[in-house]
Chain A
Amino acid sequence: MEFTVHDFIQGLLPEAMPAALGYTLAAILVAVVVLSAFVAPLAGVTSWLERRVWARMQSRVGPNRVGPQGLLQWLADGVKNIQKEDIIPASADRKLFLLAPYIVFSGFLGAFVVIPFGSWLIPADLNIGILYLLAITSLVVVGILMAGWSSNNKWSLLGGMRSAAQIVSYEIPAGLAVLTVIFLSGTLSMQGIIQAQGWAPWDWFIFYNPFTLVAFFMFFVAALAEGNRTPFDIPEAESELVAGYVTEYSGMRFLFFFFAEWGNLYVIGAISATLFLGGWQIPATVFGMTMADHPLLKGVLEFTVFFLKAYLWAFVAMWVRGTLPRVRVDQLMAMCWKYMVPIAFICLFGTILFLVIWPEGNRALTFATLAFSGLVMLYFVWRVVFQIMHSRPTLYFKPYV
């Protein structure tokens, strides 16, 4: 096979054009394809799933008319919103108002550059991967502030302010939790962090020691807050602020904000899976087949494992949204600064101490942490079964009402 990508790109270009220009155009084309073929359906299906899951939790039906079980509802919503009039308030700051959704969206989309879907399936394995991820998502704050201010509406401004304060504050516990993992793996690269873990739960960083178990939950809660998710969705609290910073937006621009929010749900899950849950790691042999001999099957399995791990946490976020009430502004700030930051610091120093005492790790403590988590899960399952047995089972065992 002598025919390479280089020849292919050269063949498409006129003689005089430099190859680098061809590569640039090809990169832009690939970015567009990835955007339309992966990220858009991902955010769309997530929005449908969230509405269905949430409806089941509230004993409603949810969207079930467009396509089988309402699976195509997101397409219908998209088509509807494109047709809508793009209303710009007369007193809004026109330029900033038009620009804001794109800044929020590019902040969200930039995260996909370093998400490792498989051992070779990553757009760019940057040496500074996780740092880049923390940096690029901070664009969202600027976009939200821009939307809040340019709408020239007190609810928008209040929502934007709340959101920015919240994201900036919760970046600290999230960053500290990420730092805990960086100490364990000794690298900032996303692939490096995954390669430092194994396929089995006892090789994951979440069960490495009791401190990392806590750090994982610190990270997940902080990530939910940074994504403006319930119970931390005070920037768009309907009962207080109409719709917060998106109050004045309509049509496709409105949709861009929520596109970013739903897509972000998957990004949160993906980062959690990468940092703490072993990412795409699969055993070297599955059902007696050596994975190195089946590169395609290996790639598919890795992608599936990573996708499921990431989506599990997206599902947990939906679940939390359906369960917990919204916190107040002062509670939100107190929770971050008075509880989560100190706990995250304890996790960090605990892990450092752990690394000093047992540089090679402590298997007994790892298994104890794993066993403890397993017991909590078992108790949880037992409670759920108990609840179902003592309620009306017919309602619960018919998921497709």
Chain B
Amino acid sequence: MEISIDVLIFYLVSLVVVGSACIVAFSRNIVHSAFSLLGTFGGVAGLYVFLGADFVAAVQVLIYVGGILVLILFAVMLTHRISDIDITNRTVGRIPGLVAVAVFLGILVYAIGETDWVKVKEVAYAPTTATIGNLFLGDYLLPFQIAAVVLLVALIGAITLSRKEIKE
């Protein structure tokens, strides 16, 4: 069987994504779970590169690794009793978790079955930045603006919540 090098790299990247996602889910140490997200986020950026989405890959690393992961780490590390190694990810119990997973799996399988998959054999490795910019400021201007307003509202909300009350 012919195994080309990019297929090999693809499976390597996928292994990193799935492997670190497994650590995120199964690790009994919540900090290890949080750090494993690094592999998941980074690996997904690698998958974007395979799809020829260079801009999205860089933004994935910038936002998810540089922003969201750091935020999660902050939240986890500043949690009370973090030195207790007993904190696990399990809080709800097995039965509700199992039901949720089963429902979600059903939806995923249905969605995968229904989707008309385009073969990504002919990925064009061309610059995508300008196209994305033109679409954002052209066809998708309204969703783009609404997303911006939602983010602004979230920002103001966060400031309001975390602001120290000045008491007389």
Contacts and interface: CB of A to CB of B under 8 A. Distances in A.
B77 A131 contact: no
A122 interface: no
B66 A135 contact: yes
Contacts of B77: 145, 149, 157, 161
A265 interface: no
Interface string A111-138: 0000000000000001110011011101
B54 A135 contact: no
A142 B65 contact: yes
Contacts of B61: 135-136, 138-139
Nearest to A187: B129
B65 A135 contact: yes
Nearest to B67: A168
Contacts of B67: 138, 168
B58 interface: yes
B66 A128 contact: no
A149 B55 contact: no
A173 to B, nearest CB: 15
A141 B66 contact: yes
Interface in B40-97: 54-55, 58-59, 61-62, 65-67, 69-70, 73-74, 77-78
Interface in B19-57: 31-32, 35, 38, 54-55
Nearest to A145: B73
Contacts of B5: 18, 20-21, 23-24
A169 to B, nearest CB: 11
B55 A131 contact: yes
Nearest to A160: B77
B4 A171 contact: no
Interface residues of B, number: 24
Q: How large is the interface on A (under 10, 10 to 19, 20 to 34, 35 or more residues)?
A: 20 to 34
Interface string A168-203: 100100000000000000001000000000000000
Given A128-B129, A149-B77, A164 B55 contact: no
Contacts of B55: 128, 131
B52 to A, nearest CB: 11
Contact of A164 (B54, B65, B74): B74
Contacts of B73: 142, 145, 149, 164
Which of A126, A138, A157 is most buried by chain B, counting CB atoms within 10 A of its CB? A138
A131 B58 contact: yes
Interface string A225-247: 00000000000000000000000
Given A18-B4, A138-B61, A138-B65, A96 B32 contact: yes
Nearest to B54: A128
Interface centre among B66, B73, B74 (most CB of A within 10 A): B66
A129 to B, nearest CB: 9
Nearest to A126: B54
A24 B31 CA distance: 35
Contact of B70 (A126, A131, A142): A142
A146 interface: yes
Contacts of B157: none
Nearest to A21: B5
The 6 closest A-B pairs by CB, nearest first: A138-B66, A20-B5, A135-B61, A135-B62, A127-B127, A131-B58
Interface of B: 4-6, 31-32, 35, 38, 54-55, 58-59, 61-62, 65-67, 69-70, 73-74, 77-78, 127, 129
Given A20-B6, A128-B127, A164-B73, 20 more contacts: A18-B4, A18-B5, A20-B4, A93-B32, A96-B31, A96-B32, A126-B54, A127-B54, A128-B129, A132-B58, A134-B62, A135-B65, A138-B65, A138-B70, A141-B70, A142-B38, A146-B35, A149-B77, A165-B74, A168-B66
23 contacts: A18-B5, A23-B5, A24-B5, A93-B31, A96-B31, A96-B32, A96-B35, A128-B55, A131-B58, A134-B66, A135-B59, A135-B61, A142-B35, A142-B65, A145-B73, A145-B77, A146-B35, A149-B77, A161-B74, A161-B78, A164-B70, A164-B74, A168-B70
